[in-house]
Every structure is written in C-alpha cells, then in structure tokens.
C-alpha cells in the first residue's frame, strides 16, 4: 500500500515537490563536469589564448553571483559618458557576446588574423578585461581627440597587418579588429574605430562589441586581471 506521502505527490503541492525532487536527482545523475549555467543550450564554454596560454571562458556558476561594483552605476554624467549609437561608424558591424566568443575561439585555435582590442585606459583595464584582449587605449589612435602620435599610429597599423610603401598604406592583409570598452555609455572604442576608418582601415574588418565590459560582467563571463594583458 502507498504511504500518504507518496499519494500526496500526485496532487497540488505534492506534485510540485515531486518535480523538484526529480530535478535534484537529474543534477545528481549528471556528469560531474557538466555546468549548470551554460552560455547557450549547446555551448558550455569557449577556449581562447591569453599571452600564449589557453583560458577557458564560461559563465560564473554561482547562482547568487552579482555584477561587479564598477558596473552597477546607471547614471554617469553625460558628457562624457553618453549613450553611444548602435553603429560606431558606417560599414562597421556591431556584435554581441556570442559573436565575440566566436572571435575569441578563433584566437584560441591560432587564427593570427583576429585581434581583440580593449580600448580603455590602463587603470580601467587593470581591474579586469576579456581574456585574449590586448590593451590599445583610445588616446594612442585618436589624433582628433587624444592627440595620438603619428609614429605610434604608424606602428599600430603595422601591428594590425597594414603595409606601407612610399607613404601609401596597403590594407589587403589587414587583420579583423574586434574592439570594446566599458559598455554602451563608453566612447573609447568608438573613438578608436572612427580613427581607424579615417586612416583608411576597411570598415568590414572592424567589429564593435558595444556591450563591452558591463554586459560581459552582467552575464558572469570569465575575465582576467589587467596586469596579465599584453601591452
């Protein structure tokens, strides 16, 4: 004969309790390496390269985890912290987290034609950045606002795969650049992007992660310490 408790599972609150019990049992029977908080239903993590070493990017597994204090503020003074448009420059694609992860995955697979750039200042980067990113502050590229040194700009363009011949830039081997900064209210990566376009960099080879660090932190995705970022 079934106990009263067993019968109770078939109706009302008992049914909900039974569902909860089955959910717990399913977790216990799952492989020990399975994550509870995935990136998508089919993607647990992505591996990229950071200073030549593999870094696994996944979401924070603590269901009580909260966003970092640096990104909790909602009302920074504007200017300078004004909401940016959806497109940083004509022809430049705006991307989200999954597209960013795809580029980081390509980096992890050894793709030398992709470069992920954190456009923030060094003090901001020191508090954490996206694995695989290199820090190129907006002031090193933007001559109109940051007063960038032409020699530094030339060196950076060369680093991006741009070749120069008698004062003429050849962008045929230019890398795909994926830029980001603090979030939709941050103008640092848009300044870098507009400077690159002005120099003649192909807009189709520039990607903008508009959500930046604020969205990255909001989703609990892996970060690395800023002092671990290549200069």
- pLDDT of 144: 67
Write the DSSP assignment of the chain as a string of letters: ---HHHHHTTSHHHHHHHHHHHHHHHHHHS-TT--SS-SBTTB--EEEEETTEEEEE-B---TT----GGG------TTTSPPPPS-SSTTPEEE-HHHHHHHHHHHHTT-TTEEEEE-S-HHHHTT-B-TT-EE--GGGT-TTTS---HHHHHHHHHHTT-EEETTEEE-TTPPEEEEE-S-TT--HHHHHHHHHHHHT--GGGEEEETTHHHHHHHTTB--B-GGGS--
Q: What is the pTM of this model?
A: 0.82
| CA–CA distance, 113 with 102 (Å, rounded to integer) | 13
| CA–CA distance, 190 with 209 (Å, rounded to integer) | 10
- pLDDT of 150: 87
Q: Domain spans of the chain?
A: 1-30, 46-228
Looking up tokens 């009580």 gives 64
Closest CA to 219 of 101, 66, 33: 66
| CA–CA distance, 160 with 196 (Å, rounded to integer) | 11
CATH of domain 46-228: 3.40.250.10
The packing angle between helices 150-159 and 188-199, to 10°, is 90
Tens-level pLDDT at each residue, the chain (231 residues): 444 444 443 444 444 444 344 344 444 444 445 789 999 999 999 999 988 899 999 999 999 999 988 899 899 999 999 999 999 999 999 999 999 999 999 999 999 999 999 999 999 999 899 999 999 999 898 876 667 888 899 999 999 999 988 889 999 999 999 999 999 999 999 999 999 999 999 999 999 999 999 999 999 999 998 655 433
- pLDDT of 227: 57
- pLDDT of 115: 98
């Amino acid at each position: 004969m079934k106990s009263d408790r067993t019968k109770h599972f078939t109706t009302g609150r008992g049914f909900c309790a039974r569902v909860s019990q089955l959910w717990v049992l399913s977790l216990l029977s799952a492989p020990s390496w399975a994550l509870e908080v995935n990136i998508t239903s089919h993607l647990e993590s992505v591996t990229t390269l950071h200073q030549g070493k593999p870094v696994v990017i996944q979401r924070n597994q603590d269901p009580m985890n909260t966003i970092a204090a640096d990104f909790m503020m909602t009302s920074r003074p504007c200017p300078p912290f004004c909401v940016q448009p959806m497109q940083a420059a004509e022809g430049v694609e705006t991307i989200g987290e999954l597209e960013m992860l795809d580029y980081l995955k390509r980096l992890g697979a050894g793709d030398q034609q992709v470069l992920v750039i954190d456009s923030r200042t060094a003090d901001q980067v020191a508090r954490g950045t996206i694995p695989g990113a290199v820090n190129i502050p907006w002031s090193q590229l933007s001559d109109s606002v940051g007063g960038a040194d032409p020699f530094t700009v030339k060196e950076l363009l060369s680093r991006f795969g741009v070749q120069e011949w008698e004062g003429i830039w050849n962008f045929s081997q230019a890398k795909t650049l994926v830029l980001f900064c603090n979030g939709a209210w941050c103008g640092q990566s848009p300044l870098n992007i507009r400077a690159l376009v002005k120099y003649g960099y192909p807009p189709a080879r520039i990607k903008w992660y508009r959500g930046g660090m604020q969205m990255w932190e909001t989703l609990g995705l892996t970060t690395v310490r800023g002092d671990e970022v290549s200069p």
